[in-house]
Structure 1
Amino acid sequence: MESESILITGAEILDVNGVRRASVLIEDDIIREISADLSPGDADIVIDGHEKLMIPGLVNTHTHLSMTLFRGVADDLPLDRWLNDHIWPMEARLSGEYCYAGALLGCAEMIKSGTTAFNDMYFFMDDVARAVDEAGLRCVLSHGMIDLGDDEKRRAELKKSRRIIRKCHGMADGRVMVALGPHSPYTCSEELLKETASMAAEHGIKIHIHLSETEDEVKNVLESHGKTPVEFLDDTGVLGPGTVAAHCVWLSDDEMEILADRDVKVSHNPSSNMKLASGVSPVTKLIERGVNVSLGTDGAASNNNLDMIEEMKTASLLQKVSLQDPTALPARRVLEMGTINGAESLGIDAGVIEEGKKADIVLLNVRRPHLVPWRNPASHLVYSASGSDVETVICNGEILLDGGELERINENYVMEVAEEAAEELTSRG
């Protein structure tokens, strides 16, 4: 069965190439034509783009999707207590069905706030893949591996990752890809990290890892290995062009140079870093060194939402206040981080509105009081808009959100299932 062609007429387009007005024709999963001359008769479905802003689908390069079930749990605590006393004990009670419910809720939230692709590290990833397949999004999934120096645990974690690669990589017509997810330099042994690097090369897949998130992590790795986290990972072979390193808050100048030399992709998570008081990532310095820096929300337990439009504003303002420089990380640059930088980090041929690119597109309603007067699209998107302004979402050429309503999944059902799962999880034990 052939997919229906879609024409979006007369929208104002904003991406890395600037602002322009045109109509966009989508056929199958590709942006086929961008022109002022297209007419409604050119497509099966016509969407009126007037008084709408068209942007590339937002790309969330670091999250733990099923942690939507832990939203509002253990707020206002330092990372070590948050993890050890609350999150990890609850995660020990997770099941595939719980992770499916949380992932489906996360997909609904992301679609409704303009995200079309994401990079996820968590557990029961085949169940997460099932939710993503149903919701229609695009993703890179990795099983979060932690061995803490235990040989038996290391073998078990690598076995789980191999199973997920075999079962899920390339499913949902290629919308689901699999990466390897060693949790961090302080929870993974040197042996696990080296085997991760070898397996990633063998399968031609990416690596997703937490890196230098807190000052305590740096001290811990220095004491354990006599090297900084970046130096340690570099020695294991984990750092390379296919690696997405989340957080990267506590970096020396030398470490930033290593990340740049290895072409490591960095996922900046400003809201989570602020909420857990982890620190401020040197984003401006990384960009100056040519590092691809994208944006992630982290999990909903440490953010507490998955709104990438909100994340863009937070990223910009955090750099400005930390550097005491109002010119730091301007709106156009942070839009790049949320779109094309993220797409490139995950190996997705999207992130820009161009002919031949994947049809991952978002339309925002700009006739809202907080967006009037409408005069500067990039500024209004980053500093004034929110995920609730998203009206239409197209991923892989399919309409997932139409007039603010989810098309593939039932929003009320998703919320009910997630509510039940969250209640069971937090009431047990």
Structure 2
Amino acid sequence: MLTLHSAPIVLPVVSEPIGDGAVLVDGDRIAAVGPRGQLAAEHPEAREHAWSGVLTPGLVNAHAHLQYTDFEELNSIDEPFPVWLGRMVAKRPTFTEAMWQESARRGLRLMLAAGTTAVADIVTEPEVLEPTAQSGIAGISYLEAVFEDAQSWSDSGRARILAALADAPVGRTLGMSPHTPYTIATAVFADCVAIARARGLRTHTHVAESEAEVRYVATGDGPFADDMLRFGKAMELIRDGGSVLTPVGFLDKIGALGPDVHAAHCVHCDASDREILRSRGVYAALCVRSNRILQAGEPPVADYLAEGSPFAIGTDSLASSPSLDLLEEAATLRDLALVQGYDEFDLDRRIVEAATLGGAAAMGLTDVGRLDQGARADLAVFAVPTLDALTGAEPGEVYAALLDAAAAKMHQCVATVLGGTVVHDTQS
């Protein structure tokens, strides 16, 4: 059955905004995008959903931990990242398999209600894969290796990851996530990347999130080294007194970067680091609100923009973020770019692109984050206060209106369509 989703403004992202536009959906795919009048005349049999708002592609969250949705109280403890991490580690054993699954389900509901239809999800507990697959949300679930040295990896860690890869639920693509250079041994990190590449899977890691990480990688000491020693982990960087490299430089040295990889945070990245990421085709998944809550610093988004460095946007988890609303995250990132001095005319458009096309590219996906023929029928509709004024507006004004509304928290997600099915609707 054909369905026509129409709206006063359709924002395909891959092409100019369309006033009084529509998206024709056939099953789970987009059949056409164009003026409503034309598509309705060509397909009179199509059932119409007439939405009030700006119709966009479903948003693509490039970094999240759905299983930690019910760790929400940790986002308000007002402690620096190493202390926060200790609190998280202490809370983990209190959760059962059922609790992990319900936590992930709640996160999925929150994302869909905010217009996110694809996610790069870090998975430490494989039991959350099933509810994620059942939700139908697009994207990749990255199985995480964390707190592993060579001994624990050999004893059980590697086998656990391989078993989870072999038991992937139908409908969910998997990848690998070696957590960070400070929570897994260098040899383990390299093995995770090798496992992924041998199977044609993508890799997603955290890198350059905090100053404590920068110190650990460079000199092998500091709070993260203390933690690893307390847990009895034998780490090469501690043994060798560090690498005298930045986190990005270190991962590049061990061959862990490439176009099959995207990296979360990338806060403490200088021009040399950013050039490495750019030359290796690595997208940075920027999570500015999480960085602020964890007192980790702020990503140099103005530099990423000015240099043409590829980046996407993630919310991280509710354990370190005020919401899973990606449009609010995008608005915060836009405002940070302005504070950092980037005020070019293309700013709003590029930030919205990062929340759609950027997230898709970070995961190597070509059929999400866009309204285009053949793409997945993932749509979001946002109510914005200035909707009436956008009729006949310049393209840049439409992007700005979306972000301005999100910055003011006046951007209600009216509807979300996932693979052609309406899964969130406040208009009916």
TM over 0.5: yes
Query: Residue in 2 aligned with 1:31?
Result: 30
Give distance in 1, aligned partners of 2:180 and 2:99: 24
Aligned partner of 1:187: which letter? T
Please name the residue that 1:196 is paired with. 192
Go from structure 1 to structure 2 and tell me whether the alpha carbon gap of 1:223 and 1:95 turns closer, same or farther (over 3 Å shift).
same
1:214 to 210, 218, 225: 210
Query: Which residue identity is paired with 2:324?
Result: L
1:177 aligns with 2:195: no
- After TM superposition, give the deviation of residue 306 of structure 1 in Å: 0.2
Per-residue deviation, 1:75:
2.1
**Could you say if the C-alpha distance between residues 154 and 91 of structure 1 is closer, same or farther in structure 2, counting changes exceeding 3 Å?**
farther
Residue equivalent to 1:128? 128
Instruction: Choose the corresponding residue for 2:249, options 231, 255, 280.
Output: 231
Q: Deviations over 1:305-360 (max 9, x none)?
A: 10011001100111222x24544972111001100111111122121111121211
Contact 2:122–2:177, Cα closer than 8 Å, also in 1: yes
Once residues 162 and 345 of structure 2 are traced to their aligned partners in structure 1, the CA distance between those partners, rounded to angstroms, is 42
Task: Look up the equivalent residue of 2:18 and give its one-letter code.
Answer: R
Alignment partner, residue 396 of structure 1? 419
Residue type of the alignment partner of 1:102: S
Instruction: Among all aligned residue pairs of Structure 1 and Structure 2, give the percentage whose two residues are the same amino acid.
Output: 26
Partner of 2:274: 256
SS in 2 for 1:38: helix
Q: Does 1:347 align with 2:349?
A: no
Partner of 1:332: 349
Provide the rounded CA distance (Å) in 1 between the counterparts of 2:131 and 2:427. Answer: 20
Change in Cα spacing, 1:142 to 1:259, as seen in structure 2 (3 Å) is same
Secondary structure (helix, strand or coil) at the match of 1:278 reads coil
Amino acid at match of 1:53: V
CA displacement, residues 150-197 of structure 1 (integer Å, 9 cap, x when unaligned): 41245523222222222226x22xxx2111011101111111111112
SS in 2 for 1:130: helix
Q: Which moved more, 1:194-203 or 1:287-296?
A: 287-296
Distance 1:183 1:151 in 2: 17
Shift of 1:404: 5.9
Q: Does 1:12 align with 2:9?
A: yes
1:360-399 Cα shifts (integer Å, max 9, x gaps): 1111234x4x766445321111111348611111122222
Q: 1:53 Cα deviation (Å)? A: 1.0
Q: Is the 8 A contact 2:306 2:342 kept in 1?
A: no
In 2, distance between residues paired with 1:154 and 1:404?
Answer: 54
Shift of 1:241: 0.5
In structure 2, give the amino acid aligned to 1:106: G
Match of 1:293 among 311, 320, 331: 311
Deviation, 1:59, is 0.6
Using the TM superposition, give the Cα deviation of residue 135 of structure 1 relative to its aligned residue in structure 2, in angstroms: 2.4
The alpha-carbon distance between structure 1 residues 296 and 72, as it changes in their structure 2 partners (threshold 3 A), is: same
User: 1:330 & 1:134 partners in 2: Cα distance?
Assistant: 36
SS in 1 for 2:105: helix
Following TM superposition, the consecutive aligned residue runs of length 4 or more in structure 1 with deviations greater than 6 angstroms are none
Segment drifting more, 97-106 vs 21-30: 21-30
- Segments of 5+ residues of structure 2 without an aligned counterpart are 221-241
Are the equivalent residues in 2 in contact too, given 1:132–1:138 (CA < 8 A)? Answer: no
3-state SS of the aligned residue for 1:92?
helix
Q: Across the two proteins, how many residue pairs are aligned to each other?
A: 392
Q: Is the 8 A contact 2:40 2:46 kept in 1?
A: no
Q: Distance in 2 between matches of 1:38 and 1:334?
A: 29
The yes-or-no answer on 1:302 pairing with 2:320 is yes
Note if contact 1:143-1:181 (Cα within 8 Å) is conserved in structure 2.
yes
Q: Which amino acid aligns with 1:98?
A: M
Change (3 A) 1:265 1:124: same
Contact 1:211 1:246 in 2 (8 A): yes
The alignment's TM-score, normalised by the length of structure 2, stands at 0.86
Letter in 2 for 1:19: P
The aligned amino acid for 1:83 is L
What letter is aligned with 2:40?
A: S
User: CA-atom RMSD, angstroms?
Assistant: 2.2
The verdict on how the C-alpha distance between 1:325 and 1:344 changes in structure 2, with shifts beyond 3 A counting, is closer
Q: AA paired with 1:129?
A: L
Q: After TM superposition, give the deviation of residue 102 of structure 1 in Å.
A: 0.6
Instruction: Give 1:402 shift.
Output: 2.5
User: Does structure 1 conserve the Cα–Cα contact (< 8 Å) formed by 2:287 and 2:316?
Assistant: yes
SS in 1 for 2:142: strand
- 2:56 is matched with 55
Structure-1 residue corresponding to 2:80: 78
